[in-house]
């Protein structure tokens, strides 16, 4: 992929999504409207696509043209992706025409979720077949990382590998190489499991809500169970896909016929697109279809006793508990998993070459918590293998020979070197919530290991010790990282709730403030570089750690913010101070400074969290010098490479404390006028106003006259005073206790 520009033909839902995804990655895209296209049509496509962009300023990277104009202008792309209607004849007609204009070195890809790549290529010239492949993107393409790469047999392996590397490193996609079988990998596995659940549930005369309740988060999937998912996609489309699987000799034995849903098909009740299917809504009430009574009846999702048991367990411990279950609902869930594992095992070497790629497909594409073979290990490798061997179906040859577990060292699905590569000899220190590694590049890695990577006192003490090692030893730098899905969801709010219950709020506040402020000061003014590699959620105290680092390495989908206002607090570990200092120390006019401070005030007062990394730039959480890494799998590697670069070329320049004039009472008057208007408009409560005024007080620099010189310590004292007062108030304590108990925000 030497040419940075690429062409996408087809402006439907997927075409626009694919185009936006590439533009978000910094590439130039020509989006081609296939078929008749007026100037108004092209303008509408342009406008719709621009709404999908992470940064509106990148709209200039998009060109929308008609297919007629595209043919006349000539081909300037190294990759052309077809994304028109999912119809074999229509795609083949387009390919035949493209064969007359594409240069010999251009890769031609079809975006398809169901059509055979070899069948689509039947009429292609030998030259085009050597550059032809399938690219199956998953919606929404702008946020779903998976793309299945399905090469034509004539496409050279080196071209496939080069494209995969480009998709991974440059575009930020996570790829698997799939075989040209029905459904490829992710859809094939998911469709089977959902169909199996419906078949077994209908044999028991269960209702849709029963099986859906047993088929979501408790077995590591999204909340949308099989029946609800089919309603969303359409019963008619589901039947079309089923016919393809039942006609495929490699999997037809896994898809028996079922009839309970036939009345819905005959009535044209195809799901959401017609207002009813397995479910429907009427006047705010939800109904499901009772197969035995052949009518709709009001429903709510049921709870079963096994759910209470599973709720008490970590997600990784639930699978063994399901396998041990003796009640009928637990046994149904166990059968769901066992049958899934057998089907997945049958598809190793058939749908793809490795079991890891099946796990990657399901976790990356379908957002499952764990892939089938990860689940297998959690249930017990030998136990599951023995259960399958005892059934009447033979095990595939590869599994008969395989000695488990599937993941002996780590459950990581990443293709790069991850934390799992470091042996126990490279662990320098560890506690209940952290591990400190010695990286081969003579750098330190501080890994956040607590559930959700919450920030606790134990973690802060460990980080303080890690900073001691960094300062005193020969290490070139430190990376703060979390191997989990999210960098950090913030401070351990349960610790605050416990201090409230024990009536020791001020004592707990003093301890956490002293240690927290000490650590962020050490991070900000470190004489050696400190990088934070963050993805997913980076909230509250986690964000405050990141804000003070020498450099942040962020995933494109980073959701960073300071949402403490939702709990009746202000950020308490220097987050507000850092945001204020950035504005005060940057060259700008007084009016611009006031506008920037007011925007910052509203961001924190509203508890805004960035939708992605580029919005984090606009909100001020990321700086221009911070790095957005296209593929989050390489965050740790990129951070370590940066430390190596700094050490080799001696380019790192530490920061030093400074003083600056603040806007003081002038800005505070603006804030109080704003919050008074909010209160009079009944947009906020009295306590919200106190809280918002406190945020403004820190950003103003305290109760001082405009132009007074202050420093970081002065702002810390303002922050500490406001935070302590809020934490001691009954309203804030009620919010914290309510959140811990109900996981919802209390507006009091």
Indicate whether 685 belongs to any domain.
no
User: What's phi and psi for 57, nearest 5 deg?
Assistant: -65, -15
Cα–Cα nearest to 712, from 517, 515, 523: 517
Verify that 345 and 440 share a domain, yes or no.
Answer: no
Q: What is the pLDDT of residue 412?
A: 77
pLDDT confidence bin for 4, thresholds 50/70/90: low
Indicate whether 746 belongs to any domain.
no
For the record, the structure tokens of 706 come out as: 């405009």
In this structure, of 72-81, 231-240, 497-506, 574-583, the range with the lowest mean pLDDT score is: 497-506
Verify that 316 and 358 share a domain, yes or no.
Answer: yes
Length of the chain: 748
Mean pLDDT over residues 199-206, rounded? 94
Verify that 212 and 312 share a domain, yes or no.
Answer: yes
pLDDT tens per residue, range 304-318: 999 999 998 888 889
What is the rounded distance in angstroms from the CA atom of residue 675 to the CA atom of residue 667? 12
Distance from the Cα of residue 239 to its chain's centroid = 31
Cα angle: 579, vertex 694, 490; to 5 degrees = 55
Higher pLDDT, 217 or 177: 177
Indicate whether 372 belongs to any domain.
yes
Verify that 318 and 222 share a domain, yes or no.
Answer: yes
Cα angle: 34, vertex 244, 374; to 5 degrees = 100
Q: What is the pLDDT of residue 270?
A: 95
User: What's phi and psi for 176, nearest 5 deg?
Assistant: -135, 150
What is the rounded distance in angstroms from the CA atom of residue 33 to the CA atom of residue 37? 7
Q: What is the pLDDT of residue 72?
A: 85
Verify that 56 and 81 share a domain, yes or no.
Answer: yes
Label the pairing between strands 5-9 and 444-448: unpaired
Verify that 360 and 337 share a domain, yes or no.
Answer: yes
Mean pLDDT over residues 406-427, rounded? 76
CATH number reported for the structural domain that contains residue 495 in this entry? 3.90.226.10
pLDDT tens per residue, range 126-168: 999 999 999 999 999 999 999 999 999 999 999 999 999 999 9
Which among 366, 401, 436 is the end of a domain? 401
Is-contact 34 81, C-beta < 8 A? no
Residue 709's SS3 state is strand
Mean pLDDT over residues 215-224, rounded? 89
Residue 657: other Cβ atoms inside 10 A: 11
Listed in sequence order, the DSSP H helices in 347-456 are 355-360, 372-379, 381-389, 397-401
**Environment class of residue 689 by beta-carbon count within 10 Å: exposed (0-12), middle (13-18) or buried (19+)?**
middle
Verify that 192 and 165 share a domain, yes or no.
Answer: no
User: What's phi and psi for 263, nearest 5 deg?
Assistant: -55, -35
The secondary element (H helix, E strand) that includes residue 281 is strand 279-282
Position of tokens 């290490």? 475
Verify that 390 and 470 share a domain, yes or no.
Answer: no
Give me the DSSP letters along 328-352. Answer: HHHHHHHHHHHHHHHHHHHTBTTTB
For the record, the structure tokens of 646 come out as: 């700094």
Which among 125, 152, 177 is the end of a domain? 177
Domains in the chain, number: 3
SS3 readout for 192-210:
HHHHHHHHHHHHCCCCHHH
Q: Is pLDDT above 70 for 402? A: yes
Cα–Cα nearest to 541, from 581, 488, 579: 488
Domain residues for the domain of 369 are 185-401
Verify that 379 and 433 share a domain, yes or no.
Answer: no
Verify that 161 and 200 share a domain, yes or no.
Answer: no
pLDDT tens per residue, range 564-612: 999 999 998 999 999 999 999 999 999 999 999 999 999 999 999 999 9
Indicate whether 107 belongs to any domain.
yes
Indicate whether 337 belongs to any domain.
yes
**Environment class of residue 105 by beta-carbon count within 10 Å: exposed (0-12), middle (13-18) or buried (19+)?**
exposed
CATH number reported for the structural domain that contains residue 189 in this entry? 1.10.1040.50
Residue 298: other Cβ atoms inside 10 A: 9
What is the rounded distance in angstroms from the CA atom of residue 111 to the CA atom of residue 218? 33
Verify that 394 and 506 share a domain, yes or no.
Answer: no
Q: Is pLDDT above 60 for 679? A: yes
What is the rounded distance in angstroms from the CA atom of residue 462 to the CA atom of residue 164? 39
Position of tokens 């016919």? 243
Indicate whether 148 belongs to any domain.
yes
pLDDT confidence bin for 417, thresholds 50/70/90: low
Indicate whether 254 belongs to any domain.
yes
Verify that 390 and 449 share a domain, yes or no.
Answer: no
Which among 160, 177, 194 is the end of a domain? 177
Radius of gyration (C-alpha) of the chain in whole angstroms: 28
Q: What is the pLDDT of residue 103?
A: 86
Indicate whether 389 belongs to any domain.
yes
């Amino acid at each position: 992929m030497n040419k940075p520009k690429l062409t996408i033909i087809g402006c439907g839902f997927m075409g626009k999504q694919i185009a936006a995804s590439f533009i978000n990655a910094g590439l130039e895209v020509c989006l081609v409207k296939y078929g008749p296209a007026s100037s108004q049509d092209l303008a509408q496509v342009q406008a719709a696509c621009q709404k999908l962009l992470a940064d509106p300023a990148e709209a200039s990277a998009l060109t929308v043209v008609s297919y007629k104009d595209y043919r006349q202008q000539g081909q300037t792309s190294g990759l052309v992706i077809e994304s028109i209607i999912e119809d074999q004849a229509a795609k083949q007609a387009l390919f035949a025409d493209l064969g007359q204009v594409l240069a010999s070195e251009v890769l031609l890809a079809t975006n398809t979720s169901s059509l055979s790549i070899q069948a689509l290529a039947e009429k292609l010239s030998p030259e085009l077949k050597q550059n032809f492949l399938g690219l199956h993107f998953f919606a929404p393409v702008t946020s779903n990382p998976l793309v299945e790469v399905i090469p034509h047999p004539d496409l050279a392996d080196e071209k496939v590998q080069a494209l995969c590397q480009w998709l991974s490193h440059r575009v930020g996609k996570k790829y698997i190489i799939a075989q040209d079988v029905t459904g490829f990998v992710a859809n094939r596995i998911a469709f089977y499991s959902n169909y199996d659940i419906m078949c077994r549930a209908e044999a028991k005369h269960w209702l849709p809500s029963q099986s859906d309740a047993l088929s979501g988060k408790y077995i590591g999937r999204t909340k949308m169970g099989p029946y609800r998912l089919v309603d969303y996609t359409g019963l008619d489309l589901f039947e079309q896909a089923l016919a393809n699987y039942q006609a495929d000799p490699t999997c037809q034995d896994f898809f028996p016929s079922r009839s309970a849903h036939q009345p819905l098909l005959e009535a044209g009740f195809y799901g959401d697109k017609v207002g009813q299917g397995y479910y429907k809504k009427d006047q705010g009430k939800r109904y499901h279809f009772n197969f035995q009574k052949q009518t709709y009846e009001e429903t709510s999702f049921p709870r079963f006793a096994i759910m209470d048991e599973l709720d008490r367990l970590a997600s990784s411990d639930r699978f063994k508990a399901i396998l041990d279950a003796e009640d009928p609902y637990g046994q149904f869930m166990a059968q769901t998993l066992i049958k899934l594992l057998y089907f997945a095992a049958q598809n190793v070497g058939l749908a793809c070459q490795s079991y890891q790629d099946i796990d990657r497909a399901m976790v990356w594409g379908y957002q499952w918590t764990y892939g089938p073979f990860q689940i297998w290990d959690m249930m017990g490798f030998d136990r599951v293998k023995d259960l399958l061997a005892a059934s009447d179906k033979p095990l595939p040859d590869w599994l008969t020979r395989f000695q488990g577990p599937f993941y002996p060292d780590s459950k990581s699905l990443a293709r790069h070197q991850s934390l799992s590569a470091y042996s126990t000899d490279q662990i320098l220190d560890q506690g209940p919530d952290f591990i400190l590694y010695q990286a081969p590049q003579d750098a330190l890695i501080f890994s956040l290991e607590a559930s959700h990577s919450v920030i606790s006192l134990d973690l802060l003490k460990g980080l303080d010790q890690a900073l001691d090692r960094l300062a005193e030893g020969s290490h070139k730098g430190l990376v703060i990282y979390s191997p989990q899905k999210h960098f950090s969801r913030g401070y351990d709010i349960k610790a605050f709730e416990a201090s409230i219950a024990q009536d020791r709020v001020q004592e707990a506040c003093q301890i956490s403030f002293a240690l927290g402020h000490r650590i962020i000061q050490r991070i900000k003014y470190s004489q050696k570089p400190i990088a934070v590699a963050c993805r997913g959620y980076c909230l509250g105290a986690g964000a405050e750690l990141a804000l003070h680092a020498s450099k942040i390495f962020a995933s494109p989908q980073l959701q960073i913010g300071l949402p403490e206002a939702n709990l009746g607090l202000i950020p308490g570990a220097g987050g507000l101070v850092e945001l204020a200092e950035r504005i005060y120390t940057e060259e700008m006019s007084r009016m611009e400074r006031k506008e920037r401070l007011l925007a910052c005030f509203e961001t924190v007062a509203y508890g805004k969290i960035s939708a992605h990394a580029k919005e984090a730039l606009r909100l001020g959480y990321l700086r221009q010098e911070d790095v957005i890494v296209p593929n989050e799998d390489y965050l740790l590697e990129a951070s370590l490479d940066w430390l190596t670069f700094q050490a080799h070329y001696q380019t790192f320049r530490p920061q030093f404390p400074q003083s600056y004039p603040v806007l003081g009472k002038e800005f505070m008057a603006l804030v109080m006028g704003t919050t008074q208007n909010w209160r009079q408009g009944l947009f906020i409560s009295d306590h919200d106003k106190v809280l918002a005024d406190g945020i403004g007080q820190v950003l103003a620099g305290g109760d001082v006259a405009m132009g007074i010189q202050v420093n970081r310590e002065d702002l810390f004292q303002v922050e500490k005073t406001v935070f302590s007062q809020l934490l001691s108030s009954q309203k804030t304590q009620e919010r914290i206790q309510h959140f811990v108990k109900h996981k919802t925000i209390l507006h009091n």
